[in-house]
Amino acid sequence: MQTVTPAELLRLDPSGAAPRLRISGEWTLPHYTLLEGQIAALRLPLPAAQTIDLSQLQALDTAGAALLVRLLGVERARALLNQPESLPAARLALLETVVSALENDQPEMPGKPSLTPLQMLADLGASMQRFAGQLLELLGFIGLILETLLRSLRHPRRWRVTALVVQMQATGLNAVPIIALLTFLVGCVVAFLGATVLERFGASIYTVALVALAFLREFGVLLTAILLAGRTASAFTAQIGSMKANEEIDAIRTLGLNPIELLVLPRVLALLVTLPLLTFVAMLAGILGGGLVCLLTLDISPTLFLSILHDIPARHFWVGISKAPLFAFLIAAIGCLQGFRVRGSAASVGEHTTSSVVQSIFVVILLDAVAALFFMEMHW
């Protein structure tokens, strides 16, 4: 029998009426690398009309059969099994085994399910049910916090003053720089935009009132609450969630202590104290940033700026500061609740930390929009 060199194991013969792919030589493991390179040089999959010539195939093992199936495709290789004259019986049996194994190993690609109107309604209903469940859980947790707070007020010896001071430092004092810097920059941006627009109408002087009203009523408390929702709510969830994952919450209950009184109340009370103070700092920083832009771009002197600011009614300040305790209570409650929902793994801690930030920011923005509409209708 004529020996076929490795270079002739696979070649395209264009001499006939139609191009013919000649498969020859020994398709065995020693030639695997060479065969793999030659197969990679072809454009796969082969055309449906491509003629395959197996008459010069001298040897075939499992590795070569796998490459042959890869070259021809599972369907065409299966078709060869129905042509006994194409290969000897032993090689056909080997090829059939390899084809069957490769067919079983191919993962089934799930078809993209088409969403019918009924399925869309079912998904919407499931989402609403989850939302209602989370809302009820939050309301129940808020009730538990209020009940524990009222019960602890009758027992001053059980007050966690040290924990309260520590949380006030963490949530309030340490947050002053970032709150002041951010609101100062936002105040500069608001004043610059206001001056750019109002200058067209010859009303640049009203930029002072724009900055003052924006920060006294909305931006001061809103920016502070959003920053604390990302900074403090996530910290509360991570701290309590890590304790839950390490079974420290169970240990606290075993010792006869109340986790709500020990862990939640200091955090809630600390945020109730620090968020209004941080809101006041944010108002001052934002107005200061707006005053700086007015001084540099509009030539409004600090004396004139303060004079215009003095004429703004104080009710705008009280409208803004009155929303701070509500936002503080909800941010702390959501952060602590998500911490108690952790289920004992690091992945769960990260998941609920993200959820606490998203929920806190959503609730803050939603309530701020509702409060803005209410105060506008009340002409406050």
Q: Match 């009940």 to its residue by tokens.
A: 147
Among 13-17, 59-63, 229-233, which range has the highest average pLDDT? 229-233
Q: What is the pLDDT of residue 1?
A: 39
Residue 331 pLDDT greater than 70, yes or no = yes
Give strand ranges (E) for the chain.
10-13, 20-27, 51-60
More confident residue, 50 or 146: 146
Percent of the chain past pLDDT 90, that is, above it, reads 22
pTM confidence score: 0.66
Instruction: Give me the mean pLDDT over the 183-209 stretch.
Output: 87
Going from the C-alpha of 35 to that of each of 12, 25, 31, 66, 317, the distances in angstroms are 14, 11, 6, 11, 80
Range name among 12-16, 204-208, 264-268, 315-319 with the lowest pLDDT average = 12-16
Per-domain residue ranges of the chain: 6-104, 159-377
DSSP 112: P
Residue 246 pLDDT greater than 70, yes or no = yes
Q: Match 């803005």 to its residue by tokens.
A: 372
